[in-house]
Structure 1
Amino acid sequence: MILRYLIEKEFKQLKRNSFLPRLILMFPVMMMLVMPWAATLEIEDLRIAIIDNDHSPSSQRLVHQIEASRYFQLTETPATYKEGMVAIEKDEADIILEIPRGFEKEQANGRPASTLVAVNAVNGTKGSLGSSYLSQILSPQSISTSVRYQFNPHLNYKVFMVPALMTMVLVMLCGFLPALNVVGEKEVGTIEQINVTPVSRFAFTLSKLIPYWLIGFLVLNLCIGLAWLIYGIVPVGSLFTIYLATLVFILVVSGLGLIISNHSATMQQAMFVMWFCMLIFILMSGLFTPISSMPTWAQCITYANPLRYFMEIMRMVYLKGSGIGDIMSQLCTLGAFATGLYCWAIYSYRKQQ
């Protein structure tokens, strides 16, 4: 009975704050509308300058083939390599391709025709991907190969990014809001009124977590609907699997938020500590950089990051159609995090009679 009144109090406090309900709805909408377009490693419309010294039908076919690619935009056709370098220095071109004299003759004689590629590598990722795209066009296709892409046949980066963004939305809302909850009551003095009541630490902590379970599921359903409506992305696996993993994961991040709130004296302190934790979790989760590409010491650190496991679950269910049996190891790890953090949240709440 006491727990019901405590939960009712939490929702009344949330309702009195006119900004928070709008934030809970607008934040996931903006994340799903903006981030999949901005947070992408695909690079298109690379500006290329081509120096054709051969002027043969073969070199012209190569130029047209590059122009037809969605990754390149032919901006200049300088007469010399020096003029091409001037275009790069003026930031008018990203890549220079020089086709030498005798290009068609070398191909006709069955010998590999060499070309020179110069890349503006100020942006290392852009330069590396641009040279890789160009190399695929320049490579001789002497062997007929059939390539089949599993789980993401169209190589759409949004299919890979959208499930991870749902994870980040849950972290930001269900982590930050609990972190500001208890410390907010400390600042206004209402926590002292609760401390003199017979409410147990267990009931008090649970009353703080249950509203964010409901908020988390509301936000998750909103994100799933937007992913289907805007991008046509639906989970290959079961929604029940996603909901089960979300139930455990929200307990993890909200428990962490309550721990930070219990140990903080002001809202400013709680926000700073929570932001620091979230920044590390997001960067070390594999959202933007694959974990396998990290140094060995960084890969070891990611095992202590609960965000890593939930992100793996979301991508496995969305892309591969994985079931509960396939995600059991990640789910058990999240369960261990949830148990430990929830016990810590109860213990760290200093109730004084």
Structure 2
Amino acid sequence: MNSLRDELRFLFSGQGMPYEKVCLMVAMVITVIMSVLLSGNIAKDAKVAVIDLDNSAYSRELINHIEASEFMKVTAVLNTPQDPKELFYQDRAVAVVYFPPGLEKARYTGEAANLGVFYDNTSSAATSNIKEALNEIVGLDNAVANGDVGSSNDSLQGQLSLASRNLFNPQDSKDNGETLGFLLFFGAMFFTFATIGMIPRLRLSHQLDEVLLHGTPWDLLIRLVPYGFCLLVSWVVGLAVLRVWGDLTFSGSLLTFVVVQLFMIPTIGALSLFFGWTAANPGIASSRMILFIPGGFIFGGMTAPTTFFADWVVKFSHVFPLTWEFHFQRDIIARGAGFLDISQTFGAFLLYMGIVGILFCLRFNASRKELLAKQAAGAHQQEQMAALVKELAE
């Protein structure tokens, strides 16, 4: 009973994780917020690009059928040859449909014709509904042409079929999906555990006051360098193991991936210091990791395709740093994109990085003002005490 009373005092003392609050908060987040955010389980209005080299009335009719599907949304129609891989960069499309020249002619002459479909198989779940919808469109079109459904035109012959190809992860390897996602997620999570208690530790050792009075935010951010270096090395080693021992498909440049991480890792580190700033001790700070790391893993396209989420959820997910990390992972590692190919996404990330830097500097300056105000109050109190002692002495 003494042990129980002692532990109860510690639980409510504020010296450790406030579990009595955290457990209820987690329950509410999971049951209310997550159930709303994860309500979708099908791909709705997934982005589809069309390469239409026939440019006929029949091909435009097929495009309208695709656009009418609840699962697909045509975002681009090109009438010139194009490498379909480039249309997938920066998540601009989930599938690319190719209409060959002579498609309408084949429909009226009874010749067999194939529609080419290229699927982004970085997440096989993202394309399952699209595959089913395209097969239904082709089957219904053949039925109409052959007079089975609502057509009396004897000049039509339905011999249309789909020729599909899965890109980027054709064998549906787990090393290219869940395993790679866990490598990046757990690496970022333990990097956060190692750094989020830095500010409380410096406060307890009275080093933070010296930095606030005579230093700059860089004096704190520079402390992240050894931790960031360890994280970068661990990611590269993990990728090497998956590539040599496993069956990871690394299509892009390792140098491009590393350069991106030189911006990504400091951003995660700055957020780690920001969220742990006001914690009373490093133990309490560690519990705050849940506020900004897991969200990117859940909504960034690793646990479920982004096509399953509402548009506002996809946009909201970019407040989490790992959402950006998984964007770069899909483009550089899976799709083989170069730096210019991801320039738009990288530019948006630099804006995000700038916002994080501004928030960190504001937090630093606010703490400096609090410390100066506290010192001024202390000095004023000492002056009052000295005056009182002098008055009593007289």
Per-residue deviation, 1:172: 0.9
The equivalent residue for 2:219 is 204
Amino acid at match of 1:219: S
Corresponding residue for residue 18 of structure 2: none
Q: 1:160 aligns with which of 150, 153, 177?
A: 177
Distance 2:212 2:335 in 1: 52
Residues matched between the structures, number:
218
Q: Distance in 2 between matches of 1:300 and 1:197?
A: 39
After superposition, what is the alpha-carbon deviation per residue over 1:64-91, rounded to whole angstroms, capped at 9, x for unaligned? xxxxxxxxxxxxxxxxxxxxxxxxxxxx
Query: Which residue does the alignment assign to 1:272?
Result: 287
User: Residue 191 of structure 1 corresponds to which residue in structure 2?
Assistant: 207
Classify the secondary structure of the residue corresponding to 2:287: helix
Between the aligned partners of 2:160 and 2:174, the Cα distance in structure 1 is 28
For residues 135-192 of structure 1, the C-alpha deviation after alignment (integer angstroms, 9 at most, x for no partner) is xxxxxxx9986542222222223323344333313421333322111212323x2425
Q: Which has the higher contact order (CA 8 A, sep 6+)?
A: 1
Distance 1:238 1:332, change over 3 A: same
CA 1:163 to 1:303, structure 2 compared with 1: closer, same or farther past 3 Å? same
Task: Give me the whole-angstrom Cα distance separating, in 1, the residues matched to 2:274 and 2:212.
Answer: 21
Equivalences for residues 88-237 of structure 1 within 5 A: 146-187=163-204, 189-191=205-207, 194-195=210-211, 198=214, 200-237=215-252
Determine whether 1:260 maps to 2:290.
no
Distance in 1 (alpha carbons) for counterparts of 2:237 and 2:279 = 32
Q: Report if aligned partners of 2:270, 2:357 keep a CA contact under 8 Å in 1.
A: yes
Shift of residue 335 of structure 1? 1.6
Contact 2:173/2:247 (<8 A) preserved: no
Matched-pair contact (CA < 8 Å) for 1:163–1:318: no
Instruction: State the percentage of identical aligned residues.
Output: 15
Identify which range, 299-308 or 283-292, moves more after superposition.
299-308
Paired with 2:275 and 2:340, the residues of 1 have a C-alpha distance of: 33
Residue in structure 1 matched with residue 305 of structure 2 by the alignment: 290
Partner of 1:343: 358
2-structure distance, mates of 1:181, 1:289 = 33
- Structure 2 residue aligned with 1:301, among 316, 327, 350? 316
Aligned residues of 1:174 and 1:212 also touching (Cα < 8 A):
yes
1: CA distance, partners of 2:309 / 2:269: 28
Q: Is the 8 A contact 1:237 1:317 kept in 2?
A: yes
Residue number in structure 2 paired with 1:244: 259
Q: Distance in 2 between matches of 1:252 and 1:317?
A: 19
Change (3 A) 1:197 1:146: closer
Q: In structure 2, how many angstroms separate the alpha carbons of the residues matched to 1:257 and 1:205?
A: 12
Question: SS of the residue aligned with 1:148?
Answer: strand
**2:169–2:249 Cα contact (<8 Å) kept:** no
Q: Comparing 142-151 with 244-253, which one deviates more in the overlay?
A: 142-151
Amino acid across the alignment from 1:262? W
Contact 2:189 2:289 in 1 (8 A): no
Shift of residue 196, structure 1, vs aligned partner: 8.1
SS at match of 1:149: strand
- Cα deviation for residue 197 of structure 1 reads 7.0
Cα deviations by residue, 1:196-251 (Å, 9 ceiling, x for unpaired): 873x1233123222223312221122211221233132421111110111111111
Task: Give, in whole Å, the separation in 1 of the partners of 2:303 and 2:174.
Answer: 11
Larger Rg: 2
Counterpart contact for 1:263–1:348, Cα < 8 Å: no
TM-score by length of 2: 0.49
TM-score by length of structure 1 reads: 0.54
